Structure 1
Amino acid sequence: MNKKAIWAIIGLMSAAVIGVVVLQMDLIRTAVKVNEERFEKNVFAALNTVVRRLEAEENREVFQHSINGFVTAYYEEHDNTGEGKPEFTLDYSGEDGRPMLSPKLSHSSLLDELMAEFANPCTCSQCMARKDNTYRSLMVYFQQNTREFPLEQRIKLQHINGVLKQELGNRGIDTDFNYGVFSREKKSFIIVDGHYVVEDAQPKEILPGYRNIYNSRYKVDLFPEDMPSPGLLMIHFPARTSFVWRSLWLNFLGSIFFTTIILFSFAYTIHVIFRQKKLSEMKTDFIN
């Protein structure tokens, strides 16, 4: 075998090995990108679900307290006038179709009636309009009753801790994380990792211990129904990279192992070719 043929074989084998390595690296890079996108999607889905659950919990409490306060005041007024204790129900007879409380149903059943109204499967224009008006009226009423409270009083520490862990766990995110609730009014964190925190009244910059959370890309508005939103829920994953790579380590190590075998086989083949070439030349010289 002449030198040109040998170098041609070496060139083809080198191109094949390089092509295999490039393809393997591209596949790994694509898999990492897919895992990162899936991780990011799951994180934002979990955060948005947490926000909705916090808002729903607040709405339930505010509604219950508001109804209790309204009914108590109404009872006291009627007790003083000797008219006895009234009952209440929802009345849609107003000009704009918005619900109003009418003295026909006990307040303990008022919440059940509201839930039944929203659960009504009828999709006719009249029923849909009633649902929409009920929802809008309740949202306006809730916002008027919650805006007067600071953000730290609208969030329960144990509740947000449990909900956040549950929603992340439901999406397979079991890595460590740090989270914080940032107040737009105070321009500082008010809750970090399940604890209330106190910063300067007018902080010039975020404290060093909270910068990773503040600079995280994973953040959503809290109570988005308020205009503007009073704060942000932020979360940071210290071991994000290792979590993204965790499901790829086996494939990555397998690629390295088989690529190493290919490179070793290629190098050994080249070594054998040159050795045979050298022996052939020595034999020819000896015969001559």
Structure 2
Amino acid sequence: MNKKVIGFIIGIMSAAVIGVIALQIPLVRTVFRVNEAQFDKSVANALARVADRLETQEMQEAFSLLANGYSISYFSTDQMALGQPADGSPEALLAQLMAQSVPAGETPSPDLQRLAYNLLNANMPVEERVDAVELTQYLRQELHDNGISTDFEYGVFSRQTGAYAIHDGIYLAPPG
């Protein structure tokens, strides 16, 4: 073979390699986008599960406080005589509603539990409602359950103060 044929073959092979690379670049980009979208979806799913767990826990705590508190106030003579909550607070009104609508020893409906949760936590600052240690544990567990094993940082933003209340498990504003 002469030098011209060898140069021609090298040129053709180089063009073929460049062509294969050019065809692979969009495929690699697509794979990265799909992986990034899957990662984002997994993170969003984990965060939604953490939010659900925190909300469920808050609802249970709010209902527990309300249920324990109403048993005392429900039998107060002022409330029995007037049919009104003794102190007129929303909590006492809700306790009276629960006493009237939930038979003793039974669990209230999810709607009533959600009402109690919303009423009791409506104006409570986020740093008082969220336990930073539990939040960190929930985040780690849910991210792990969704196949995410990367290091992460997080923050909880308080709309009331307009600043972060919790950053990486540390309260930036003192709770309660």
TM-score by length of 1: 0.48
Tell me which residue corresponds to 2:129: 154
1:73 & 1:103 partners in 2: Cα distance? 16
Alpha-carbon distance, 1:25 to partner: 3.3
Render the CA deviation track for 1:208-257: whole Å, top value 9, x for unaligned: xxxxxxxxxxxxxxxxxxxxxxxxxxxxxxxxxxxxxxxxxxxxxxxxxx
Tell me which residue corresponds to 2:172: 197
1:23 & 1:12 partners in 2: Cα distance? 16
Tell me which residue corresponds to 1:73: 73
Q: Is 2:150 the partner of 1:175?
A: yes
2:106 pairs, out of 96, 107, 110, with 110
Tell me which residue corresponds to 1:25: 25
* C-alpha RMSD of matched pairs (Å): 2.8
User: AA paired with 2:116?
Assistant: Y
Percent identical residues: 39
Tell me which residue corresponds to 2:13: 13
1:184 pairs, out of 134, 159, 163, with 159
1:23 & 1:29 partners in 2: Cα distance? 11
User: AA paired with 1:37?
Assistant: A
- Greater mean deviation of Cα atoms: 39-48 or 190-199: 190-199
User: AA paired with 2:147?
Assistant: G
Query: Residues 243-282 of structure 1 correspond to what in structure 2 (within 5 A)?
Result: none
Q: Structure 2 regions of 5+ residues with no counterpart? A: 82-96
Render the CA deviation track for 1:15-35: whole Å, top value 9, x for unaligned: 211122223433332222222
Tell me which residue corresponds to 1:140: 115
User: AA paired with 1:151?
Assistant: V
User: AA paired with 1:172?
Assistant: G
Going from structure 1 to structure 2, the CA distance change for 1:74 and 1:146 (only over 3 Å counts) comes to same
Structure 1's consecutive aligned runs of 4 or more residues displaced over 4 angstroms after TM superposition are: 1-8
1:104 & 1:193 partners in 2: Cα distance? 41
Q: Structure 1 regions of 5+ residues with no counterpart? A: 82-98, 115-133, 200-288
Paired residue secondary structure (1:75): coil
TM-score by length of 2: 0.75
Alpha-carbon distance, 1:164 to partner: 0.7
1:140 & 1:198 partners in 2: Cα distance? 28
> Is 2:62–2:116's contact at 8 Å kept on the other side of the alignment?
no
User: AA paired with 1:189?
Assistant: Y
Computing the radius of gyration over CA atoms, which structure comes out larger, 1 or 2? Answer: 1
Paired residue secondary structure (2:124): coil
Greater fraction of residues in strand: 1
Alpha-carbon distance, 1:40 to partner: 0.7
User: AA paired with 2:118?
Assistant: Q
Aligned residues: 158
Alpha-carbon distance, 1:12 to partner: 2.3
> Is 2:165–2:172's contact at 8 Å kept on the other side of the alignment?
yes
Alpha-carbon distance, 1:4 to partner: 6.5
1:173 & 1:100 partners in 2: Cα distance? 42
Alpha-carbon distance, 1:3 to partner: 7.1
> Is 2:127–2:165's contact at 8 Å kept on the other side of the alignment?
yes
2:156 & 2:62 partners in 1: Cα distance? 21
Alpha-carbon distance, 1:6 to partner: 5.1
Alpha-carbon distance, 1:104 to partner: 8.3
Going from structure 1 to structure 2, the CA distance change for 1:104 and 1:38 (only over 3 Å counts) comes to closer
Alpha-carbon distance, 1:156 to partner: 1.1
Alpha-carbon distance, 1:10 to partner: 3.7
User: AA paired with 1:176?
Assistant: D
Going from structure 1 to structure 2, the CA distance change for 1:66 and 1:142 (only over 3 Å counts) comes to same
